[in-house]
């Protein structure tokens, strides 16, 4: 059996959204599945001393132009959210909880919906109510989710997810691990695809 692609993401990253819009189809073309792994990019940035691009002189304006252009050239619906950037906690916590309670497929479907809602539909997923609503659309028990989202257990789980990611060399999002090979950024999807093609041709190598 081929191993799943580990896909690390933060809901606040436009590039993670682009990756989220394309990764399942890419994986399927190579007989792979995707393990969706929410992390907080700020936790990763602590490990490297990095700052979010929108807060960096010159890079902020470029990032705005580059995300719009990347969306357009890839045919992905995108508009920068009104409340951007912001620290998004409810969505990644909910994803982890849904993963535990309902399984990985439901968690991935929910995560995809959160990304679309935030980056294409103008929904502010920084609001608990919106996150719960999107979860309920997926058949999740909203009342239980709402309670779990603020519990110590889920906060601890998200913190540990970040530590585990850093231990595997993850320092940004989107970040993909394919049989241990690291790919950082939506702009590495072409390299990841070629890597998967080679891995299929010579299964033992890599």
User: In the complex, which residues of this chain contact a second copy (CB under 8 A)?
Assistant: 47-51, 56-59, 61-62, 65-66, 69-70, 73, 166, 169-171, 182, 184-185, 187-188, 190-191, 194-195
Task: Report, in Å, the least distance between residue 189 CB and a second copy.
Answer: 10
Nearer to a second copy, 1 or 75 (CB): 75
Structure token digits, residue 2: 């081929």
Is the peptide bond between 174 and the residue preceding it cis, with omega within 30 degrees of 0? yes
- Which of 26, 162, 38, 178 minimizes the C-alpha distance to 107? 38
Nearer to a second copy, 47 or 109 (CB): 47
**Which ranges in the chain belong to alpha helices (H)?**
14-29, 41-48, 59-73, 90-102, 104-120, 128-137, 142-148, 152-167, 189-201
Q: Other CB atoms closer than 10 Å to residue 136's CB: what's the count?
A: 13
Nearer to a second copy, 125 or 176 (CB): 176
Task: Report, in Å, the least distance between residue 24 CB and a second copy.
Answer: 22
Structure-token match 């073309």, residue found = 29
Nearer to a second copy, 58 or 205 (CB): 58
Structure-token match 């990253």, residue found = 13
Cα–Cα dist 81/71, whole Å:
14
Task: Report, in Å, the least distance between residue 57 CB and a second copy.
Answer: 6
Nearer to a second copy, 28 or 51 (CB): 51
Task: Report, in Å, the least distance between residue 51 CB and a second copy.
Answer: 7
Task: Report, in Å, the least distance between residue 115 CB and a second copy.
Answer: 22
């Amino acid at each position: 059996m081929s191993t799943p692609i580990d896909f690390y993401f933060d809901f606040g990253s436009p590039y993670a959204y682009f990756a989220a819009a394309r990764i399942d189809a890419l994986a399927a073309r190579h007989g792979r599945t995707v393990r969706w792994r929410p992390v907080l990019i700020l936790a990763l940035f602590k490990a490297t001393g990095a700052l979010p691009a929108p807060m960096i002189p010159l890079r902020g304006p470029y990032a705005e132009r580059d995300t719009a252009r990347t969306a357009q050239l890839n045919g992905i619906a995108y508009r920068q959210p009104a409340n951007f950037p912001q620290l998004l906690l409810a969505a990644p916590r909910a994803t982890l909880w849904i993963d535990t309670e309902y399984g990985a497929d439901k968690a991935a479907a929910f995560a995809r919906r959160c990304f679309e809602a935030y980056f294409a539909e103008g929904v502010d997923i920084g609001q608990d109510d919106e996150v719960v609503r999107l979860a309920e659309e997926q058949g999740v028990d909203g009342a239980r989710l709402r309670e779990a989202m603020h519990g110590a257990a889920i906060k601890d789980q998200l913190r540990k997810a970040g530590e585990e990611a850093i231990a595997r060399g993850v320092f940004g999002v989107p970040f993909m691990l394919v049989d241990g090979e690291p790919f950082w950024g939506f702009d590495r999807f072409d390299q990841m695809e070629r890597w998967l093609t080679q891995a299929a041709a010579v299964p033992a190598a890599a």
